[in-house]
Amino acid sequence: MEARLPKPTILTVDDDPGVAASISRDLRTRYGQDYRVIRATSGAQALEVLAELALRARPVALIATDQRMPEMTGVEMLARARDITPDTKFLLLTAYADTEAAIAAINDVGLDYYLLKPWDPPTERLYPVVDDLLGDWRQAHPPDAGEVTVVGHRWSERSHEVKTFLSRNHVPYQWREIDRDEEAGRLVELAGAGPDDLPLVLVPDGQPLRAPSTLDLAGALGLRTQAEQPLYDLCIVGGGPAGLAAAVYAASEGLRAVVVEKEAPGGQAGQSASIQNYLGFPKGLSGADLAHRAVAQAARFGAEMLLARDVVALEARGPVRAVRFGDSGEVEARAVLVASGVSYRRLEGPGLADLAGRGVYYGSSASEAVQCEGDDVYVVGGANSAGQAALNFARYARRVVMVVRGARLEDTMSMYLIAQIRANDRIEVRLRSSVVAAHGDGHLASITLCEQGSAPEELPATWLFVYIGASPRTDWLGPGVARDPRGFVLTGPELLASSATTPWPLARSPYALETSTPGVFAAGDVRLDSMKRVASAVGEGAMAIHLVHQYLATT
């Protein structure tokens, strides 16, 4: 007989017997089949229960606690509970008079949500909140490590790319390191693979994939890579916040829309461990969570999502715009939205290019922080993305060193991030500094750090993550779409005011987000002078659909 895994626990805490019975009953009614609901009547008892569950290695998914309890408040109990069960979701049940304490607890103890009592009817006020919290917990704690297995070298650039693709597309997998894991060697032998075949990817009911391309990997996993229709109303190139917002609004308003994404939904924002200033999420949310929700929302309205397709050209064919892929294939649409975003700029210096993917990385997914546990991590950059990454790495690393070229974080980073960085004892900020070289044989071993006014120093380092500048992904647009010298797309009034060599061809003025090719629009970070924030990208994506409607109505 196959052993069953223990159910995750939901712990309720309230000193009022009537309220305790009510919340436990409501949660058991909805979630009792998949979760074990346990009740505690005081903060002290709750901590005893949590300690016992920890000793038995029983996962705790959610703690729902009252705030006003004698001897120990709910927030005080949660602060101590965080040390016992660091990944549990926290829900505070509170009266209106205690909302200030609840809001403070978001920063102080990592409170996920606070809910005003009473919560009747639970179907409207309690269950939607708990559904979201448990959904997020389940996503971070899949019931198993996944049926996909990746075998490769720790310091392999391609292995890193494969693992990143799987993580960002929410595909659970097991990682087997060929140099440290005997089972990895056995799997390679069984597959009849050699050193040149790594990384080896084993998928259920499929042939082993030897050093697969991203497109081959996506196809083997059943991800959509081919368009279903011969002609769309709108093709959206890029699945970041702007592209996903455009997909939601286009499909919800009846347009036949398709999103083409080279890597994974979310763009640079999708790699963020915590976006804390996005409207409506006081605790913040991860970029992966935001992307996951947006993809589900777009799919619900009927938008298509093509993954692992690299767009290499744009062609105007009369009233139709064609987007061509590098590995053959294309999508035709009546209008195109360029939302291909930006890439992090590359560091220049001896050894840095050779060690890319072998200790030197450009950007990172939130899940990569755990691999740095106990190590020193260097983060290059002084904008929000670098700050969010540093805070995420600090959860696991022994020390995180931020290398910032500027003289002040305040010049480039939001204050809420600066406050958290300064309060974190594991994070050190090196201002007026830059990494000028990397050293190592096969993988990163040290870096050369140069601080203004001081002699260069070589420091031991195995992890270097870079978050600097922005290089727009616009080479594929060709000469028909005007750009500035750095490659950012000109739109609307900026297009008319510029001295671009590609003039506007029609008698009417271009729409606000329209490029020099009529029917081709741009939104988000790829557009000149965009705000470079998630909320503004979402707004531009939504605004673009209004303009696409106007364009389609006149063609």
Would you list the domain boundaries of the chain?
9-140, 148-220, 232-343+471-553, 360-466
Of residues 16, 81, 77, the one with CA closest to residue 43: 77
pTM of the prediction? 0.83
CA dihedral 254, 260, 264, 270 (to 10 degrees): -60
Query: pLDDT of 405-455, one tens digit each?
Result: 999 999 999 999 999 999 999 999 999 999 999 999 989 999 999 999 899
Mean pLDDT, the chain, whole residue set: 91
Query: pLDDT of 49-89, one tens digit each?
Result: 999 988 887 899 999 999 999 889 999 999 999 989 988 99
Using CA atoms, how far apart are residues 517 and 505, in angstroms rounded to an integer? 8
Do β-strands 471-472 and 342-343 pair in parallel, antiparallel, or remain unpaired? antiparallel
Residue 471, token pair as written in the block: 């290089």
Domain 9-140 grouped into CATH 1.10.260.30: no
375, exposed or middle or buried, with CB in 10 Å at 0-12, 13-18, 19+?
middle
Could you identify the residue written with the tokens 């070589």?
Answer: 458
pLDDT bracket for residue 2 (50, 70, 90):
very low
Domain 360-466 grouped into CATH 3.50.50.60: yes
Residue 447, token pair as written in the block: 């870096």
Mean pLDDT of 156-176: 90
Of residues 446, 451, 382, the one with CA closest to residue 417: 382
pLDDT bracket for residue 541 (50, 70, 90):
very high
Mean pLDDT of 361-371: 85
Could you identify the residue written with the tokens 């002084």?
Answer: 382
Using CA atoms, how far apart are residues 500 and 516, in angstroms rounded to an integer? 9
Contact 172, 187 (CB under 8 A): no
Q: For position 5, what pLDDT does the model report?
A: 58
Contact 133, 62 (CB under 8 A): yes
Using CA atoms, how far apart are residues 30 and 10, in angstroms rounded to an integer? 12
Query: pLDDT of 215-234, one tens digit each?
Result: 999 999 999 999 999 999 99
Of residues 263, 275, 273, the one with CA closest to residue 218: 263
Q: For position 273, what pLDDT does the model report?
A: 79
Using CA atoms, how far apart are residues 85 and 79, in angstroms rounded to an integer? 10
DSSP assigned state of 367: G
How many other CB atoms sit within 10 Å of the CB of residue 24? Answer: 20
Query: pLDDT of 472-511, one tens digit each?
Result: 999 999 999 999 999 999 999 888 887 767 788 999 999 9
Cα first-last separation, the chain: 65
Mean pLDDT of 156-165: 92
DSSP assigned state of 197: G
Mean pLDDT of 103-120: 88
Give me the long-range contacts of 402-405 (CB less than 8 A, separation at least 24): 402/427, 402/428, 402/429, 402/430, 403/378, 403/379, 403/430, 403/433, 403/434, 403/435, 403/449, 404/429, 404/430, 404/431, 404/432, 404/433, 405/432, 405/433, 405/434, 405/468
Using CA atoms, how far apart are residues 154 and 164, in angstroms rounded to an integer? 13
What CATH architecture applies to the domain 232-343+471-553? 3-Layer(bba) Sandwich (3.50)
pLDDT at 141 over 90: no
Helix axes 99-108, 74-84, angle to 10 degrees: 20
Q: Which CATH number fits domain 148-220: 3.40.30.10, 3.40.50.10490, 3.40.50.300, 3.90.180.10?
A: 3.40.30.10
Amino acid (one-letter) located at 430: R
Using CA atoms, how far apart are residues 291 and 287, in angstroms rounded to an integer? 6
How many other CB atoms sit within 10 Å of the CB of residue 99? Answer: 14
Contact 350, 536 (CB under 8 A): no
User: Is there a shared CATH topology between the 9-140 domain and the 360-466 domain?
Assistant: no
Using CA atoms, how far apart are residues 121 and 142, in angstroms rounded to an integer? 30
Q: State whether the Cα torsion 486-438-388-169 is positive or negative.
A: positive
Could you identify the residue written with the tokens 């595909």?
Answer: 171
